[in-house]
């Protein structure tokens, strides 16, 4: 069974939460492909994820660029995790970024180790990877003019 991913539908809701700056952000969706070489070795290649199969590893990326003439601080970027994707633990953690997660469609965010889900009976349980609906990155390092960075997370197509 194949599924077609549409970038604008899946990541169209990626948001910039940093007010009053000229920051450009673009996104991409790629599929991880394992290439087997004649000598028996393997390597990993990323290719555009036009068509994917359940179980495929998908990489969602946000590239951001400071269009301002001055350094920008406290950049916050939020990306939804499509419901067809199971987030892969640890894949959103990066250097110079604080990563937080949401289980309530982006209303609230917490560190992964304290993220909880409220059950119908009022009790709470630790959130699992399937519960994550959004990822928020706060870039803690100042971003100089005409520079940027890349943020990403990985998941598996359910």
Question: What pLDDT sits at residue 57?
Answer: 96
Element (H, E) at 66: strand 57-66
pLDDT along the chain (158 residues), means of 10: 29 45 85 94 93 94 91 90 95 94 96 95 95 95 92 95
Planar angle of CA 92, 148, 136, nearest 5 degrees: 30
Its domain, for residue 152, covers 3-157
Say what the pTM is.
0.82
Question: How many domains would you assign to the chain?
Answer: 1
Given this model, what pLDDT does residue 42 score? 94
**Three-class DSSP category at 90:** coil
Distance CA 67, CA 72 (A): 9
Q: For residue 73, which phi and psi values (nearest 5 degrees)? A: -120, 165
């Amino acid at each position: 069974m194949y599924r077609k991913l549409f970038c604008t539908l899946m990541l169209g809701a990626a948001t910039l939460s940093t007010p009053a700056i000229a920051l450009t952000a673009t996104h991409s969706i790629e599929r991880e492909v394992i290439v087997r070489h004649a000598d028996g070795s393997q390597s990993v290649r990323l290719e555009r994820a036009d068509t994917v199969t359940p179980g495929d590893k998908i990489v969602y990326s946000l590239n951001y660029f400071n269009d301002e003439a001055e350094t920008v601080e406290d950049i916050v970027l939020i990306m939804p995790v499509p419901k067809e994707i199971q987030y892969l633990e640890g894949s959103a953690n990066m250097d110079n970024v604080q990563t937080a997660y949401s289980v309530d469609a982006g209303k609230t965010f917490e560190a992964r180790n304290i993220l909880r889900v409220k059950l119908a009976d009022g009790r709470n349980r630790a959130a699992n990877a399937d519960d994550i609906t959004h990822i928020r990155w706060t870039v803690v390092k100042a971003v100089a003019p005409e520079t940027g960075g890349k943020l990403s997370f990985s998941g598996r197509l359910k």
